Amino acid sequence: MTCDPPICPDYPNLRAVAGLVMADGRVLRAGHFYRSEALCTPSKIASAAIAALGIRHVFDLRGQGEREAAPNGWWRAQGVRIDEWDLIADARNAGAHWQALVEDPQGEGGRRMMMATYRALPFAMLPHLGRLFDALGEGDGAVLVHCAAGKDRTGIAVALVLAAIGVSRAAILADYLESGDRENPAVVAWTRALLERRLGAPIDAQCLADVTGVDAAYLETAFAAIDTEFGSLDDYFARAGWGSDARAALAERLAG
């Protein structure tokens, strides 16, 4: 996949959610919606590049422990609104997916953990999703969604927004998979250290790649879980309080 040059080389997964075509042919405009890994202590040069994006509302999808270890102090100093969703805690409440990695850190445990995580995330996200839709519809500056790596929790949140406004599944998948081409080595190293500390043992290279990478099967697992539980995406979004008329209005707001 060919990626646009990074907005900020220090944070390769910081990018606009834009240029995607909706079902009616309209195109998602730039300047409204961004996604990224955590941007906690940007350099002076990075700070200038990020500030120029006009972001006024940040959705931080990391858990409490992650936020305490790497606070969003820079964003707070910019005076932006920060909305915090603890999706890891919510997803763990929905299933003991971490156990898969504990049981098999040298084989398929990482992949099985990720599949379980993606099955749980749509349900963990459901109580929060309306706030993201509201922020995107208000038009009070750009919106940023981020977690630690910007690929799993952020990937599902962005995929659900795109699905809600009529972007094709193929385009949603391509946007999701782009994170694989924007891997941040610092995030991979942090993830390895975190996992090995929790496991008390080294983690296999393939197992680590399964955890730090993206995979079409992960995203499809999330959508399949929605279909199984709710019957359709329309019913899922209705449960979040966003019926077809509200989603059409959001699409109008974000389209070119």
pLDDT digits 0-9 by tens, 198-256? 888 888 899 999 999 999 999 999 999 999 999 999 999 999 999 999 999 999 999 96
Estimate to the nearest angstrom the gap between the alpha carbon of 183 and the chain centroid: 14
Q: pLDDT-derived band of residue 89, with 50, 70 and 90 as boundaries?
A: low
40 counts as catalytic? no
Summarize pLDDT for 243-252 with one digit per residue, the tens: 999 999 999 9
Cβ of 125: how many Cβ atoms within 10 Å? 22
Q: What is the mean pLDDT of residues 16-21?
A: 96
Q: Which residue among 8, 40, 147, 207 is the active-site one?
A: 147
pLDDT in tens, 110-152: 999 999 999 999 999 999 999 999 999 998 899 999 999 999 9
* Sign (positive or negative) of CA dihedral 66, 71, 74, 78: positive
Q: Are 129 and 122 in contact (CB under 8 A)?
A: no
Question: Is 24 exposed, middle or buried, given 0-12, 13-18 or 19+ CB atoms closer than 10 A?
Answer: exposed
Start-to-end Cα distance in the chain: 24
Q: Taking all residues of the chain, what is their mean pLDDT, rounded to a whole number?
A: 92
Q: What is the pTM of this model?
A: 0.94
Most confident of 2-6, 59-63, 105-109: 59-63
CB 42 within 8 A of CB 74: yes
* Residue type at 133 in one-letter notation: F
For 7-16, b where at least 16 C-beta lie within 10 A, e where not — what string? Answer: bbebbbbbbb
For residues 11-27, give the mean pLDDT: 95
Nearest to 128 by CA among 60, 226, 75: 60
